[in-house]
């Protein structure tokens, strides 16, 4: 019997034929092209914003460069100073703890942390001869700084740990044996300071008992007694800044040793510095390079191929080594940032064009598919129509929404710029107030000098009663009277040769050492100006001799041009070169109207003095440091710069009711971090929580580090403009979805009923009835679906009476399969059996065994079906499955092997569940054989029929299953033909040759893994 095929043909009018193309053009192409223009306009706005942000980023990076190339910062930045200082501070405090039991453990823990630090670990810990074991630490300094120390001196208890190594620039002033005595005294002094711990006496702050150290290094003041630290001092002996690094460690005898490494600034290898800074900063998206530029104006920006570059000239120190090249070009550093790498959004104009072309091409393929009948399936047709409408609506609305987001971001950008301008303006106002205070001090000094000039010369020895205040008035740290006069000391030289030096108690030690400098220099100036011409000859000779003696003492210790400059720029603030503190002299010549000067006076001031006056104005609320501007709360704070320890800050006191302790501590940490990298920073942290802006800059003639911190009062996500745009985008999406779904539903209103019917059929449910009253072809189609459902229901009922293999034969298009007998076909047989089933049947009740078999067969049957197999028979506890060859499926050998491995995995999970319930577990084996089988109908013409498979392959698979109990790994055995197909088909297959009695080599293999 041969089945009859019927062709179904649909006739359409020319208008219906053009409908898909017209719909594609009007509902898809035109909206998508409109969306393309909107997206490109949004990208233009984004690019402008990104370029502006990139410029700020490059300017900030350039400022970091200038700071990093500063030799003072370079020296400190290479040794991880803050971490080491913290460890040594803990070490010193642990050494002085009162509890002996915890002291040793805590100290050893900190010592171990020091030994793990990359630099401190190079110190000669536990060395028996410190001098001979210095190579690691010296090489470490060479690696990070490019130079070796110019001098090394170590303070220890014996000759193995006490020594000095000198360079020709710092020769010893004493023989080495005599200098060893100096080092021994210095060690005892340092050890006393170490034993005092953090609360040391001021007397032990410097090596007061060993001035030979100061003279050798050429310091004006004695070196500090640091346990650990870095000091920068000017040396008149080296005629340059000295960088001294001090470390403490223990030698082999557990004695504490203090070693100091001294570097000379001019010995720096500037090429090494530039190369190292470039390598450390050349990370991330910003590319750094060094070269030459012929540009006459620097710095400047340049854009090339969507790459923004900032070019600026190297610092002056590097211009000395990188001079103009042969063409006259300047040495510069170039910072380059690809704009597309800095862009936060995924799209670019090229990507948008590509995406639009891809969408149009894909949609065109859909139209071609509709015309060619590829989407005759109702669900596919509905999906295609809906998707086309959805994309056609979504693309332009997305472009509009993105344009809105770009507008919001541009508004935020200008708002951020406005806030930075506001913060900078407020800082500038404070700076003007500081400048005004400086000028006020200057006016004060001029008035004071004028008033002193009016005092008769013979009475001027009493001016100390006018300028000095009783010591009792300095008891209160924050007394208003402390700041009533803008100076902490003065030096006065009268026309009769008398002099007077005064300083507040905390400055007395410093100023008293300056006395010879003033005596010698001021007397020389008075003599040069004929200020003593009215005195007797003997008196003038005494003054000359006094000036010569003082000048001889200080001749090599100070540059006397500073004193000349003090009177050439009379009334100006002159920076002191006599000490590392940031002190200033303001000097005046008395009695300008006379032919000869009536005396000289110089007032001593420092940065901290007038800054505290500014801090007082903050305390009184004369200037707001905490205020609201728009949606931001702004905090201002200012820090005086400490030049004793370069690159550090000392906090300016601000009243707690203006800025709370928690906020103030946070701002101080931010200020320290920013000051360590740049003298000017603009940071946009709106993407963080809390959202904030930070502006920092050095102001007031490098005396103050100002920090402005602006924090948003509300989270940026809840910004009204962001909410509106997100709401608009959500509405656009939902509207596009509703329009697409509604349009497709109107066009294909009846299709959901057919979709539901098809789903029911796929779920093997046939108890349904369609009711479509559309009055068109869909109603007739519904009647046909109802008839199909009844036929399928009848087939489902029949399937309960015959085997699945019979149904496959019945469903086959080959009428020969329905004849008695059958035909030979290529197939793969999978045979699986439960181990020791007879024993289990005798041990457990029948209900338990049947329940187990039902669950087991359900698991295994699902696996076989999923891999395209058919269960031919269930023989007791065994499964006999067949895998036929099919053109639209993988080879049956592969599917059978995959099914076998999956069956084993399912069995593991099956046993795990049963074990959790307290039930017995089972094991099985699998045999797989490939070959020719007879597939067809077995039975009589009038009796019961059964479609099955026959042949030797079935017995072979059964025998393989029986042998699988002797397998070592997976309990799955396959024959050699199956192996050959697997090795050709699978990406990777893992096999083990099966060896047993009466089994020839190469005939049977155990399947282990298959991919």
Report how many helices (DSSP H) and strands (DSSP E) the chain contains, helices first. 28, 28
Q: 511 burial class (0-12, 13-18, 19+ CB within 10 angstroms)?
A: buried
Q: Are 728 and 404 in contact (CB under 8 A)?
A: yes
The residues near 811 (Cβ < 8 Å, ≥ 6 apart) are none
CA atoms of 453 and 463, how far apart (whole Å): 11
CA 965 to chain centre: 58
Q: 612 burial class (0-12, 13-18, 19+ CB within 10 angstroms)?
A: middle
Phi and psi torsions of 370, nearest 5° = -65, -45
Q: 797 pLDDT band (50/70/90 cuts)?
A: low
In the structure encoding, which two tokens stand for residue 694, read together? 């930070």
Q: Is the pLDDT of residue 151 over 90?
A: yes
Give the other-Cβ count within 10 Å of 757's Cβ: 21
CA atoms of 78 and 88, how far apart (whole Å): 17
Give the other-Cβ count within 10 Å of 661's Cβ: 8
User: Which residue from 623, 702, 616, 679 is spatially nearest to 652, judged by alpha carbons?
Assistant: 616
Q: How far apart are the first and last CA of the chain?
A: 43
CA atoms of 369 and 282, how far apart (whole Å): 53
Locate tokens 């149009």: which residue? Answer: 360
Element (H, E) at 403: helix 378-454
824 φψ region: left (φ > 0), alpha (ψ -120 to 50), beta (else): beta
Report which of residues 385 and 190 the model is more confident about: 190
The residues near 787 (Cβ < 8 Å, ≥ 6 apart) are none
Highest mean pLDDT among 19-28, 124-133, 401-410, 581-590: 124-133
CA atoms of 559 and 572, how far apart (whole Å): 18
Q: Is the pLDDT of residue 301 over 70?
A: yes
Give the other-Cβ count within 10 Å of 500's Cβ: 17
pLDDT for residue 686 = 76
**Please, which residues bridge with residue 493 across strands?**
499, 600
Phi and psi torsions of 257, nearest 5° = -125, 140
Lowest mean pLDDT among 8-17, 139-148, 414-423, 482-491: 8-17
Highest mean pLDDT among 56-60, 161-165, 328-332, 751-755: 161-165
Q: Are 695 and 424 in contact (CB under 8 A)?
A: yes
> What's the pLDDT tens digit per position in 327-362?
667 888 888 888 765 444 455 667 777 777 777 776
Instruction: Note the helical H segments in 867-969.
Output: 892-916, 952-963
Q: 816 pLDDT band (50/70/90 cuts)?
A: very low
Element (H, E) at 638: strand 632-642
pLDDT for residue 476 = 43
pTM for the complete prediction?
0.52
Bridge pairing between strands 256-264 and 287-293: unpaired
Q: Is the pLDDT of residue 657 over 50?
A: no
Give the other-Cβ count within 10 Å of 691's Cβ: 20
In the structure encoding, which two tokens stand for residue 77, read together? 């930045």
Q: Are 336 and 286 in contact (CB under 8 A)?
A: yes
pLDDT for residue 454 = 84
For 472, what's the count of Cα atoms within 13 Å in the CB-facing half-sphere? 0
CA atoms of 690 and 693, how far apart (whole Å): 10
> What's the pLDDT tens digit per position in 699-758?
877 778 888 999 887 654 445 555 666 666 676 666 666 666 655 555 556 666 777 777
In the structure encoding, which two tokens stand for residue 922, read together? 């089972």
Q: Are 827 and 882 in contact (CB under 8 A)?
A: yes
Q: Is the pLDDT of residue 96 over 70?
A: no
Q: Which pairs count as long-range contacts for 811-815, CB under 8 Å and 24+ apart, including other chains? A: 813/3, 815/1, 815/2, 815/3
* Mean of the per-residue pLDDT values of the chain: 77
Q: Is the pLDDT of residue 157 over 90?
A: yes
Element (H, E) at 366: helix 349-371
Q: Are 725 and 409 in contact (CB under 8 A)?
A: no
**Please, which residues bridge with residue 367 across strands?**
none
Report which of residues 539 and 464 the model is more confident about: 539
Q: What is the DSSP letter of 3?
A: P
Q: 992 pLDDT band (50/70/90 cuts)?
A: confident
> What's the pLDDT tens digit per position in 865-906?
889 888 888 888 899 999 998 877 889 999 999 999 999 999
Whether the bond between 690 and the residue before it is cis, its omega within 30 degrees of 0, is: yes
Instruction: Note the helical H segments in 117-247.
Output: 135-145, 176-196, 211-217
Report which of residues 171 and 99 the model is more confident about: 171
HEC states along 315-337?
CHHHHCCCCCCCCCCEEEEEEEE
Mean pLDDT value across residues 558-571 = 73
């Amino acid at each position: 019997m041969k089945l009859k095929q019927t062709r179904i043909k649909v006739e359409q009018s020319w208008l219906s034929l053009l409908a898909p193309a017209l719909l594609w053009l009007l509902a898809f192409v035109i909206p998508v092209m409109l969306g393309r223009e909107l997206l490109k306009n949004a990208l233009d706005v984004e690019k402008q914003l990104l370029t502006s942000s990139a410029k700020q980023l490059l300017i900030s990076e350039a400022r970091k460069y200038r700071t990093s190339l500063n030799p003072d910062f370079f020296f400190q930045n290479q040794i991880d100073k803050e971490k080491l200082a913290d460890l040594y501070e803990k070490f010193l405090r642990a050494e002085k703890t009162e509890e002996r039991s915890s002291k040793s453990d805590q100290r050893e823990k900190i010592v171990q942390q020091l030994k793990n630090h990359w630099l401190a670990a190079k110190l000669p810990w536990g060395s028996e001869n410190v001098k001979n074991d210095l190579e690691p630490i010296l090489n470490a300094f060479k690696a990070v700084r490019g130079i070796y120390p110019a001098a090394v001196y170590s303070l220890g208890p014996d000759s193995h740990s006490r020594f000095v190594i000198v360079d020709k620039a710092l020769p010893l002033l004493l023989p080495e044996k005599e200098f060893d005595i100096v080092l021994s005294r210095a060690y005892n002094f340092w050890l006393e300071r170490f034993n005092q711990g953090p609360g040391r006496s001021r007397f032990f702050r410097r090596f007061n008992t060993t001035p030979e150290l100061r003279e050798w290094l050429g310091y004006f003041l004695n070196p500090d007694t640091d346990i650990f630290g870095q000091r920068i001092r000017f040396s008149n002996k080296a005629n340059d800044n000295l960088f001294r690094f001090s470390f403490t460690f223990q030698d082999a005898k557990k004695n504490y040793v203090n070693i100091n490494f001294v570097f000379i600034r001019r010995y720096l290898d500037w090429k090494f510095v530039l190369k190292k800074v470039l390598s450390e900063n050349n990370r991330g998206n910003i590319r750094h390079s060094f070269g030459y530029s012929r540009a006459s104006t620097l710095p400047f920006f340049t854009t090339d191929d969507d790459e923004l570059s900032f070019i600026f000239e190297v610092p002056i120190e590097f211009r000395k080594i990188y001079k103009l090249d042969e063409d006259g070009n300047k040495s510069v550093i170039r910072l380059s940032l690809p704009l597309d790498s800095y862009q936060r959004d995924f799209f670019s104009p090229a990507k948008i064009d590509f995406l639009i072309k891809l969408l149009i091409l894909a949609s065109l393929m859909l139209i071609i598919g509709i015309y060619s009948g590829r989407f005759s399936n109702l669900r596919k047709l509905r999906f295609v129509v809906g998707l086309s409408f959805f994309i056609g609506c979504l693309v332009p609305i997305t472009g509009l929404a993105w344009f809105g987001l770009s507008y919001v971001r541009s508004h935020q950008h200008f708002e951020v710029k406005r806030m930075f301008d506001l913060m900078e303006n407020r800082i500038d106002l404070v700076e003007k107030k500081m400048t005004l205070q400086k000028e006020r001090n200057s006016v004060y000094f001029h008035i004071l000098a004028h008033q002193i000039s009016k005092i008769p010369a013979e009475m001027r020895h009493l001016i100390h009663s006018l300028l000095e205040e009783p010591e009792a008035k300095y008891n209160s740290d924050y007394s208003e009277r402390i700041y009533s006069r803008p100076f902490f000391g003065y030096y006065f030289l009268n026309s009769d040769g008398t002099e007077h030096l005064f300083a507040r108690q905390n400055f007395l030690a410093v100023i008293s050492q300056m006395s010879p400098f003033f005596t010698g220099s001021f007397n020389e100036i008075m003599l040069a100006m004929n200020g003593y011409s009215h005195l007797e000859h003997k008196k003038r000779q005494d003054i000359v001799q006094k000036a010569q003696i003082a000048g001889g003492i200080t001749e090599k210790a100070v540059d006397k041009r500073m004193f000349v400059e003090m009177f050439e720029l009379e009334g100006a603030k002159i920076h002191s070169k006599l000490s590392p503190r940031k002190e200033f002299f303001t000097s005046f010549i008395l009695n300008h109207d006379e032919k000869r000067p009536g005396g000289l006076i110089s007032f001593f001031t420092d940065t901290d003095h007038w800054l505290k006056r500014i801090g007082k104005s903050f305390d009184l609320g004369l200037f707001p440091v905490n205020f609201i501007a728009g949606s931001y709360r702004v905090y201002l704070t200012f820090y005086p710069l400490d030049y004793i320890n370069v690159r550090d800050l000392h906090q300016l006191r601000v009243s707690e009711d203006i800025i709370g302790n928690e906020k103030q501590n946070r701002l101080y940490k931010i200020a320290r971090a920013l000051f360590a990298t740049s003298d000017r920073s603009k940071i946009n942290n709106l993407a963080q929580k809390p959202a904030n802006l930070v502006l920092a800059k050095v102001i007031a003639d490098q005396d103050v580090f100002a920090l402005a911190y602006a924090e948003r009062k509300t989270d940026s996500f809840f910004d009204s403009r962001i909410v509106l745009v997100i709401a608009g985008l959500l509405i656009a999406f939902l509207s596009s979805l509703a329009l697409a779904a509604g349009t497709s539903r109107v066009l294909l209103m009846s299709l959901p009923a057919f979709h539901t019917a098809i789903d029911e059929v796929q779920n093997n449910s046939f108890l349904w009835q369609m009711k479509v009253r559309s009055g068109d072809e869909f109603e007739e189609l519904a009647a046909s679906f109802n008839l199909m459902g009844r036929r399928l229901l009848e087939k489902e009922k029949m399937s309960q009476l015959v085997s699945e293999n019979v149904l496959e034969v019945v469903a086959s298009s080959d009428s020969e399969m329905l004849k008695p007998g059958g035909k030979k076909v290529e197939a793969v047989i999978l045979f699986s059996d439960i181990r020791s089933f007879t024993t289990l049947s005798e041990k457990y009740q029948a209900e338990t065994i049947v329940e187990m078999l039902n669950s087991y067969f359900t698991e295994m049957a699902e696996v076989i079906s999923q891999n395209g197999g058919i269960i031919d028979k269930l023989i007791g506890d065994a499964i006999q499955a067949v895998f036929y060859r099919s053109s639209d499926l993988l080879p049956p050998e592969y599917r059978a092997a995959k099914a076998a491995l999956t069956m084993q995995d399912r069995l593991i999970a099956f046993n795990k569940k049963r074990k959790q319930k307290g039930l017995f577990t089972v094991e099985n084996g699998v045999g797989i054989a490939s070959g020719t089988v007879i597939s067809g109908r077995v039975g009589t013409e009038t009796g019961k029929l059964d479609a099955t498979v026959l042949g030797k392959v079935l017995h072979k698979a059964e025998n393989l299953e029986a042998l699988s109990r002797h397998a070592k790994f997976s309990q799955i055995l396959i024959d050699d033909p199956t192996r050959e197909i697997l090795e050709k088909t699978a990406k990777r297959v893992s096999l083990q040759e099966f060896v047993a009695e009466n089994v020839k080599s190469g005939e049977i293999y155990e399947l282990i893994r298959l991919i």
